[in-house]
Amino acid sequence: MNHTEATLPAPNITGAEDDPFIIADTSFVSRIIIGTGKYPSYDALRDTLATSGAQIVTVALRRVSIGNAEDRTLESIDTSRIRLLPNTSGARDATEAVRLAKMARAAAGHNWVKLEVTPDPATLLPDPVETFRAAEILVKDGFVVLPYINADPILALRLQEIGCATVMPLGAPIGTNKGLRTRDQIQIIIEQANVPVIVDAGIGSPSHACEAMEMGADGVMINTALATAGDPPLMGEAFRMAVIAGRRAFIAKLGRQSDAASASSPETDHVRSSDNLTGFLDD
Amino acid sequence: MTNSPAFSEYIRQFPPERLRGLIDGATQRDVADALNAPRLTLANLAALLSPAAAGRLEDIAQRAAYLTRLRFGNMIVLFTPAYLSNQCVNTCKYCGFNKNMPIARRTLSPAEAIREYDAIRVLGFSHILLLTGEDRRATPIEYMEEMVKLAAERFHSVSLEVFPMTTSEYERMVAAGCDGLALYQETYDPDIYQAMHPSGPKRNYNRRLDSPSFGAAAGMRFVGLGYLMGLADWRIETLYLGLHARYIMRHWWRTKISLSFPRLRPCAAGFSPDHPVSDRDMVSAITALRLFLPDADMVLTTRESPALRDRLIPLGITRMSAGSRTDPGGYSGDGEAGRQFDISDERTPEHVAALIESKGFEPVWKDFDRAFMA
């Protein structure tokens, strides 16, 4: 969300109590969301959950049986403290995504859903048309919809308009760890958003996560970078600190690099007109 | 479309003291930062308007010219205002249509309006701006609908600069073929606003403040904002104008914003501004706003002298009126009704177009099409 004009929250040294992360009227302290796929072991998943401080965790409905208390993934998650966010990954179109979401609601007992419609297994990029269609249906049906999208500012605006609770633009395709390749578009989305912006996919390192938060993202979602790290719980700690650092930097109003000694900025130097534009005022 | 707080509510987060603090606290370093910022904050805008920026006006102007060029090329869209009526129930102290002014009052009939439209079309315009005073008995909504419809049959783009309406009234205007709305707050200072508008419906500050939002919500594609330069401190007013523009852009993102810079001119009311705005101040406001809002249209009217208008063109202006008459029926030459203000730039549209070209810019007669409207 855009904070440049409104009053910014006061920074708090001990924690984030003054800077809550609010999604659909629910308040969280942590701004990091993690996925549960690709971990080397369930212990690694459980420990990483703890070190990352994440309070929201996504589970793929195609893999996890939400209603089954003995599901190994679910056992690793303390659902009394952590919100389970079912995702519809694997859905190829709106119909499949909506069906999955409804199943999830029945099993999980709450109506939050991470909407992921990724018909192309080669890239796992989200289908904007099917995502929008599914979001329309799900929002009308009372779901709290968190849609995963390419970093398309217009699509983000359209989804907010129909009532999605957040937008989740990708930094780079899922699993690529390439960082914020869509940086400029994400910046536009952040500036225009009236809902929280959570950068999701492509974050490969804590520095990427920090960068996203410094830009003004409200949260980040991490999966591959954690699950496939050499030491996932230690990486979880690194991400936790990086996200806090980035958020604090953003609130502290990251100052621009400026060289007050120079008479003109690098951007204007090469485009400066030789005509004097305001000399006439002295006449 | 969205559940947003009204602008009249939002603006309360920015009392004048807060804005004054931003201006007074700005340093030369802040001005340099603002010049370099890829996207300006309100504090950046304040720095560019502050006394600390006095020595950097040329740099700010160069950047404004550059940004305008990037977004708009060197297009200047030409339009003309057509006054349909000078009847008014308000008593605005600065206006020639003030109810108490003994001017000849006139409201064009549909037939007279058609003659006026045809006379304007001959001059080459595709974009027309329809104006009235505020008198809902003389120019009720049905009349406005009819006038818009007749104009839409003849022009590609029809805008309104009339009395504030409700959302559903604006929807009727849009349905009749109106794509744009201009509504200037006159002054964002509530006390000065009350003093300037002693009686009549215009006295309602919040209603006026929120009406551009209603227009945007009703589907107006273009919303024009501005303040009457001279009524209050131009620095504070410019900050409010910037806030107002960004507010509309945030909540109605499909709407295009334009900014106007009407500066108080001598008029029949004989009003003299308390906070006169110098040419330098005006240049400062225009160029700073261009950096703050790189995508907004900036409009210049024939209120200013030819010499100044010519100098302002390269600084960020993208729309100009030409050949303007501010008396109803002034184009078709039917009678001599009272004018709203005196025109400074009496040149013909061809002359203005030639002048724009001579400065290296491109006069554009058409930048919209009837086909966009249902």
What pLDDT band is residue B242 in, cutting at 50, 70 and 90?
Answer: very high
For residue A268, which residues of chain B lie inside 8 Å, CB to CB? Answer: 35, 59, 62-63, 66
Lowest-pLDDT choice from A19-23, B162-166, B342-346: B342-346
Average pLDDT in the B27-50 region? 94
Average pLDDT in the B78-107 region? 93
Residue A264: predicted pLDDT: 39
Question: pLDDT tens for residues B325-339?
Answer: 778 888 877 666 777
Nearest residue of chain A to residue B280 (CA atoms): A281
Residue A277 and residue B65: Cβ atoms within 8 Å?
yes
Average pLDDT in the B274-297 region? 95
For residue B2, which residues of chain A lie inside 8 Å, CB to CB? Answer: 161, 194
Average pLDDT in the A116-138 region? 95
Residue B268: predicted pLDDT: 53
Instruction: Tell me if chain B has a CB within 8 Å of the CB of A25.
Output: no
What pLDDT band is residue B224 in, cutting at 50, 70 and 90?
Answer: very high
What pLDDT band is residue B25 in, cutting at 50, 70 and 90?
Answer: very high
Residue B303: predicted pLDDT: 75
Residue owning tokens 């550059």: B66
3-state secondary structure of B100: coil
Lowest-pLDDT choice from A93-97, A103-107, A244-248, B162-166: A103-107
Nearest residue of chain A to residue B45 (CA atoms): A5
Average pLDDT in the B268-297 region? 91
A178 catalytically annotated: no
Residue A62: predicted pLDDT: 82
Q: Which of A2, A7, A273 sits opposite B62 (nearest CB)?
A: A273
Round to whole Å and give the CA distance between A229 and B324: 70
Question: pLDDT tens for residues A165-178?
Answer: 999 999 999 988 99
Instruction: Tell me if chain B has a CB within 8 Å of the CB of A162.
Output: no
For residue B59, which residues of chain A lie inside 8 Å, CB to CB? Answer: 263-264, 268
User: In percent, how much of chain B has pLDDT > 90?
Assistant: 73
Residue B304 CA, chain-centre distance (Å), reads 14
For residue B65, which residues of chain A lie inside 8 Å, CB to CB? Answer: 273, 277
What pLDDT band is residue A108 in, cutting at 50, 70 and 90?
Answer: confident
How far A215 CA lies from chain B's nearest CA (Å)? 12
- DSSP notation for B45-71: HHHHHSGGGGGGHHHHHHHHHHHHHHH
3-state secondary structure of B185: coil
How far A60 CA lies from chain B's nearest CA (Å)? 32
| Nearest CA-CA partner of A23 in A198, A148, A141, A153 | A198
User: In percent, how much of chain B has pLDDT > 70?
Assistant: 94
What pLDDT band is residue B239 in, cutting at 50, 70 and 90?
Answer: very high
For residue A153, which residues of chain B lie inside 8 Å, CB to CB? Answer: none
Residue B243 and residue A5: Cβ atoms within 8 Å?
yes
For residue A260, which residues of chain B lie inside 8 Å, CB to CB? Answer: 28-29, 32
Residues A5, B19 contacting (CB under 8 angstroms): no
Whether B192 shows a pLDDT value over 50: the answer reads yes
Lowest-pLDDT choice from A3-7, B222-226, B273-277, B316-320: A3-7
Question: How is residue B109 written in tokens?
Answer: 């009939």
What pLDDT band is residue B197 in, cutting at 50, 70 and 90?
Answer: very high
Task: Provide residues of B within 8 Å CB-CB of chain A.
Answer: 1-2, 4, 13, 28-29, 32-33, 35-37, 39, 41-42, 57-59, 61-63, 65-66, 243, 246, 250-251, 253, 279-280, 283, 311, 314-315
Question: pLDDT tens for residues A138-153?
Answer: 999 999 999 999 999 9
Residue B269: predicted pLDDT: 64
Instruction: Tell me if chain B has a CB within 8 Å of the CB of A270.
Output: no
Nearest residue of chain B to residue A259 (CA atoms): B32
What pLDDT band is residue B309 in, cutting at 50, 70 and 90?
Answer: confident
Question: pLDDT tens for residues A190-249?
Answer: 999 999 999 999 999 999 999 999 999 999 999 999 999 999 999 999 999 999 999 999
Round to whole Å and give the CA distance between B215 and A30: 40
Per the residue annotation, which of A38, A102, A114, A253 is the catalytic one? A114
Round to whole Å and give the CA distance between B209 and B206: 5
